[in-house]
Structure 1
Amino acid sequence: LAPVGPIPCISEEVAREAFKDYASSNCCYSNSPAEDGVITSLEPHNTYRYRLETFTESRSTDWAHKPHKGEAADFYTQPAPQPWQVQVTPPEMFTNHTQELPVPYTSTIKVLHQICHMMMTFVCVCVCVCVCVCVCVCVCVCVCVCVCKECYVCHGTGKTETGDCGRCNAGRESCSSCNGQGTEDCETCEGRRQLMTFIQLKVEWTNHLEDFLAQQGGSLTAKELSSVTGKELFKGAQNLVYPLLGFPDPAIAQASERMVQEHQAQYLQTSRILQQRQTVELIPVAKVGYKWKGDAHCYYVAGNELHVTADYPDTCCCVIL
């Protein structure tokens, strides 16, 4: 890579307009520092940003089930493929995505507990003491007890001034589980008595992004500059990239070598690297010194977006109603 010439520093007018836009975008900031402050200095603090992206795919399996709705089981058809033998189409490169799908030839049909042959639903029994007992008889037998509520319209009398209570008719509200119907479908089998069990494959595509900032006198961090862009000097993508050992700035060359080695060593242990991408940008950064009410202050204007970072000297306490 050939050496890159310096980016001209922004003008005083551009710096002032960026500061005004910054102040007006914050409801708790007074416009006075941006409008009345006197700019005293403009210093370029341009910096290189090296970015490495490693796009990986990982796979895991677990047992899953769903209500059987007549589908044919395929467990005995042929041997099931291994997780990495299942054909899955990856999404667009360098975008995070998760997909779950059944592994072929792993599905079986399981008939639930013997009691479930007789009862495919919960049985709700309301006894005289107004305690509703719901017995789940699908996979296991469990008891859920809930106290029936007194009707808030008739206060448990079953009567109102105009006659019978139109809400409950009996002084008590219906069971909250079965709504007075006496039965409720099993949530596991949906009342079908059978489950289809299978091995579920979970595929995760993850873009691991890391930045390195070659500071040149500025005080902005890589996080503060993460949302801005600059002049792109280099961009390359491969299955496995090579470090930029010939870059003119030694700090970028060293960071590239270190990060490439770390990414490949770390992510190849638990996943597959589908592609890597590395870029180098020259980020324009200007440090603007100004005076307001006799005190010296400064702010930074960075990137093509003219993003401002400042410790603003005139703020107020806002209350959002």
Structure 2
Amino acid sequence: MDDKDEDLGAFDPNIPEEGPSAPPPGWLDDVHGYQGHKGGEDDNPLYPPPPAYNPQPELNRNTLVPNVRVPTVSEDVARDALLKFVESKWRYSSKPARNLTFKELKPITVYRYRLETYTETRTSAWQFEPYNGQVVDGPQYGVSPPPWDIPVSLPQRYTDMVEKVRVPHSSFVKLCHKCNGCGRTRCNNCHGRGQKRCTFCHGHGRSRNKRCTSCHGRGRKRISPPPSPRCTSCHGHGYKTCSVCHGSQNLLHFIQLTVTWKNDVADFIPDRQPDFPDKKFEKVTGDPFFIDESVLVYPIQGFPDHEICDVSTKMINEHLNRFGSTSRILQQRQTIELVPLTHAYYTYNGKDYSFFVYGMENKVFAAKYPSACTIL
């Protein structure tokens, strides 16, 4: 007997097979200003229009650099910082930190340049939800406004945030693409039969010339009492409620605008201390003695450390090229910080050692420490 000839349960041809979970290409129409949305779920970038005015950096402006005094660390502060560092290392003994003798506390000038570019990016994509009689804000109420004309409330400046907005007048109702408006889809597990062939005897009722103990010989034939095993996926119904429209048969489609505010930060510290890892600076703060803020900032000029000037020019150009076409630049801010760094030299038990105290938080980096505690 051919497996395809005799099926289990009542087959309902009116219940369709499952369609795609997303609307297929061509299922949705274009909306003016939001072209390119052919039913895909991915967000489409919406490039901002050119601004009404073209902001220009201030030209011929030299940075006025105040007199900056390199902060010094006293022996008491350096010792306390080392003791806190030792407490965080369970293998270290605090005895060397308490009894060491300082030889020199050498302050080091460290500048950190930081550029912040605060941008707004807008993307859009078709979304849908089951239609259960809710209000439909469709084209009958007007034309959808251009994506960059839709008003949104600005967050606090330099704060990352995402807001999703339903585009006005972009909604309409359409039959569910997954179930073709039936509200149900055929069970893929039993192919709409409600029952499954026995997997042990393959529907023959016998295995190895013996009555199948799994289906008790019922196999796949219609007999009474109960026929072949009920499908556990659809509980014997042969169909499932549509997972997209949840049985409502219709979907409300609309364009969702995603507005993303992001503060992109770039830092730079000249690498001039071979014994100190620069990555340590990422977790500490400095003293921002120079702050420049505008819609677009101009590269720093006239600063004594020429490497800072060069990096300022490079980073500003990189940010303009990266964000200028795909996002709207709302504000830029550049700062120069003086990050405290002191190299502490000391002796203990006749040997020379050293450690660094860095950041406004007085963190400690010690590549080598005199002794570890002895576990008895």
The alignment's TM-score, normalised by the length of structure 1, stands at: 0.74
Extract unaligned runs of 5+ from structure 2: 1-63, 200-213, 215-225
Choose which of 284, 288, 295 in structure 1 pairs with 2:344.
Answer: 288
2:325 maps to which residue? Answer: 269
Structure 1 residues 266 and 11, CA gap change in structure 2 (3 angstroms):
same
Q: Secondary structure at the match of 2:361?
A: coil
Deviates more, 1:215-224 or 1:190-199: 215-224
Structure 1 residues 76 and 286, CA gap change in structure 2 (3 angstroms):
same
Q: Which has the higher strand share?
A: 1
- Cα distance in 1 for partners of 2:91, 2:289 equals 39
Choose which of 311, 315, 324 in structure 2 pairs with 1:259.
Answer: 315
**Are 1:307 and 2:363 matched, yes or no?**
yes
Structure 1 residues 193 and 283, CA gap change in structure 2 (3 angstroms):
same
1:151 maps to which residue? Answer: none
Shift of 1:51: 1.0
Task: Say if 2:147 and 2:257, in contact at 8 Å, map to a contact too.
Answer: yes
Shift of 1:66: 1.4
Structure 1 residues 279 and 114, CA gap change in structure 2 (3 angstroms):
closer
- Cα distance in 1 for partners of 2:91, 2:242 equals 55
Task: Say if 2:178 and 2:242, in contact at 8 Å, map to a contact too.
Answer: no
- Cα distance in 1 for partners of 2:194, 2:168 equals 46
Shift of 1:85: 2.0
Shift of 1:297: 2.9
Q: Deviations over 1:66-95 (max 9, x none)?
A: 111222241343222222222222221112
Amino acid at match of 2:145: P
- Cα distance in 1 for partners of 2:318, 2:178 equals 56
Task: Say if 1:47 and 1:213, in contact at 8 Å, map to a contact too.
Answer: yes
Count of residues in Structure 1 that have an aligned counterpart in Structure 2: 280
Q: Secondary structure at the match of 2:279?
A: coil
- Cα distance in 2 for partners of 1:197, 1:315 equals 67
Amino acid at match of 2:253: T
Shift of 1:300: 1.0
2:242 maps to which residue? Answer: 186
Extract unaligned runs of 5+ from structure 1: 132-155, 157-169, 317-321
- Cα distance in 1 for partners of 2:287, 2:198 equals 75
**Are 1:199 and 2:255 matched, yes or no?**
yes
Shift of 1:291: 3.5
Q: Deviations over 1:196-216 (max 9, x none)?
A: 112222222111111122456
Deviates more, 1:254-263 or 1:286-295: 286-295
Amino acid at match of 1:83: P
Choose which of 227, 239, 242 in structure 1 pairs with 2:298.
Answer: 242
2:184 maps to which residue? Answer: 120
Task: Say if 1:245 and 1:257, in contact at 8 Å, map to a contact too.
Answer: no
Query: Following superposition of structure 1 onto structure 2, how do residues 51-200 of structure 1 map, counting pairs within 5 Å?
Result: 51-71=114-134, 72-112=136-176, 117-120=181-184, 126-127=194-195, 129=197, 177=233, 184-200=240-256
- Cα distance in 2 for partners of 1:99, 1:174 equals 47
Task: Say if 2:137 and 2:168, in contact at 8 Å, map to a contact too.
Answer: no
Shift of 1:24: 0.7
Structure 1 residues 197 and 86, CA gap change in structure 2 (3 angstroms):
same
Structure 1 residues 26 and 122, CA gap change in structure 2 (3 angstroms):
farther
The alignment's TM-score, normalised by the length of structure 2, stands at: 0.64
Shift of 1:277: 0.8
Shift of 1:276: 0.4
Rg larger in 1 or in 2? 2
Task: Give the superposed CA RMSD.
Answer: 3.3
1:160 maps to which residue? Answer: none
Q: Deviations over 1:191-242 (max 9, x none)?
A: 1111111222222211111112245657445532122223221113211112
- Cα distance in 1 for partners of 2:138, 2:72 equals 68
Task: Say if 2:183 and 2:248, in contact at 8 Å, map to a contact too.
Answer: no
Sequence identity, in percent? 36
Task: Say if 1:45 and 1:218, in contact at 8 Å, map to a contact too.
Answer: no
- Cα distance in 1 for partners of 2:196, 2:317 equals 73
2:85 maps to which residue? Answer: 22
Deviates more, 1:10-19 or 1:194-203: 194-203
Q: Deviations over 1:255-298 (max 9, x none)?
A: 22222222222210221111001111212210112344554332
Structure 1 residues 194 and 28, CA gap change in structure 2 (3 angstroms):
farther
